[in-house]
Structure 1
Amino acid sequence: MQPVLTEKEEKRNTVIEPEEENWDLVIEPKHSLLDLKLKELWKYQDLLWLWVRREYVGAYKQTIMGPLWHFFSPIFGTLTYILIFGKIADLSTGGVPMFLFYNAGIAIWNFFNGCFSSSSGAFLSNAGIFGKVYFPRLIMPMASVISTLIKFGIQISLFLVVYLYVILAQDYRPDVGLGLFYVPLSLFLLAGIGFGFGIIVSSVTTKYRDLNMLVGFGMQLLMYATPIIYTYSSVDPDLKKYLALNPLVAPVEAFKHAVFGIGDFSAYSLLYSFCWMVVLLLLGIVLFNKAEKNFMDIV
Structure 2
Amino acid sequence: MDPKIKIIEATSGWKLVDFREIWRYKDLLYFLTLRGIKARYAQSILGVSWAIIQPLFTTLVFTLVFGGLAKVDSDGMPYLLFSYLALWPWNYFSGTLTESANSLIQNANMITKVYFPRMVLPLSSILSKLLDFVIAFVVVIVLLIYFQISPGWGLLFLPVLILQLLMTSLGIGMFLSAMAVKYRDVKHALSFVVQILLYAAPVVYSTNAVPEKYLPFYILNPMVGVIEGFRAAFLNRPMPWEWIWPGAIVSVVFFVFGMMYFRRMERIFADVA
TM-score normalised by structure 2 residue count: 0.91
Q: How many angstroms apart in 1 are the aligned matches of 2:11 and 2:208? A: 48
**CA distances 1:135-188 after superposition (whole Å, capped 9, x unpaired):** 111011111111112210001112212212321xxxxx45x4211122211111
Choose from 176, 190, 203 the match for 2:178: 203
* Counterpart residue number, 1:298: 272
Choose from 22, 25, 33 the match for 2:4: 22
Choose from 143, 152, 161 the match for 2:133: 152
Deviation at 1:81, TM superposition (A): 0.8
Alignment-mate amino acid for residue 162 of structure 2: L
Identity of matched residues, %: 30
* Counterpart residue number, 2:58: 77
* Counterpart residue number, 2:95: 114
Alignment-mate amino acid for residue 139 of structure 1: V
Deviation at 1:264, TM superposition (A): 7.4
* Counterpart residue number, 1:170: none
* Counterpart residue number, 2:142: 161
Q: Alpha carbons of 1:238 and 1:30: their partners in 2 closer, same or farther (altered >3 Å)?
A: closer
* Counterpart residue number, 2:14: 33
Alignment-mate amino acid for residue 137 of structure 2: I
How well do the aligned residues superpose, as a CA RMSD in angstroms? 2.2
Deviation at 1:245, TM superposition (A): 3.3
Q: What SS class does the counterpart of residue 43 from structure 2 fall into?
A: coil
8 Å Cα contact 2:62-2:204 kept in structure 1: yes
Deviation at 1:262, TM superposition (A): 4.1
Q: What SS class does the counterpart of residue 253 from structure 2 fall into?
A: helix
Deviation at 1:85, TM superposition (A): 0.7
**CA distances 1:94-147 after superposition (whole Å, capped 9, x unpaired):** 222222222222111111112322222222121122112211110111111111
Q: Which moved more, 1:68-77 or 1:157-166?
A: 157-166
Alignment-mate amino acid for residue 285 of structure 1: M
Q: What SS class does the counterpart of residue 118 from structure 1 fall into?
A: helix
Alignment-mate amino acid for residue 116 of structure 2: F
Alignment map for 1:87-126 (pairs within 5 Å): 87-126=68-107
Choose from 255, 280, 283 the match for 2:254: 280
Given the alignment of the two structures, is residue 260 of structure 1 paired with residue 235 of structure 2, yes or no? Answer: yes
Deviation at 1:271, TM superposition (A): 2.8
* Counterpart residue number, 2:245: 271
Choose from 187, 211, 218 the match for 1:243: 218
Structure 2: gaps (5+ residues):
none
Which of structures 1 and 2 has the bigger CA Rg?
A: 1
**CA distances 1:2-55 after superposition (whole Å, capped 9, x unpaired):** xxxxxxxxxxxxxxxx9x6535x6533336532422221111111111111111
Q: Alpha carbons of 1:187 and 1:240: their partners in 2 closer, same or farther (altered >3 Å)?
A: same
Q: Alpha carbons of 1:35 and 1:73: their partners in 2 closer, same or farther (altered >3 Å)?
A: closer
Structure 1: gaps (5+ residues):
1-17, 168-172
**CA distances 1:48-79 after superposition (whole Å, capped 9, x unpaired):** 11111111012111111111111211221111
Deviation at 1:237, TM superposition (A): 2.6
Q: Which moved more, 1:197-206 or 1:78-87?
A: 197-206
Given the alignment of the two structures, is residue 220 of structure 1 paired with residue 195 of structure 2, yes or no? Answer: yes
8 Å Cα contact 2:154-2:238 kept in structure 1: no
Q: What SS class does the counterpart of residue 15 from structure 2 fall into?
A: coil
Q: What SS class does the counterpart of residue 129 from structure 2 fall into?
A: helix
8 Å Cα contact 1:180-1:258 kept in structure 2: yes
TM-score normalised by structure 1 residue count: 0.83
> Which structure ranks higher in relative contact order (CA pairs < 8 Å, sequence separation ≥ 6)?
2
Alignment map for 1:46-57 (pairs within 5 Å): 46-57=27-38
8 Å Cα contact 1:256-1:263 kept in structure 2: no
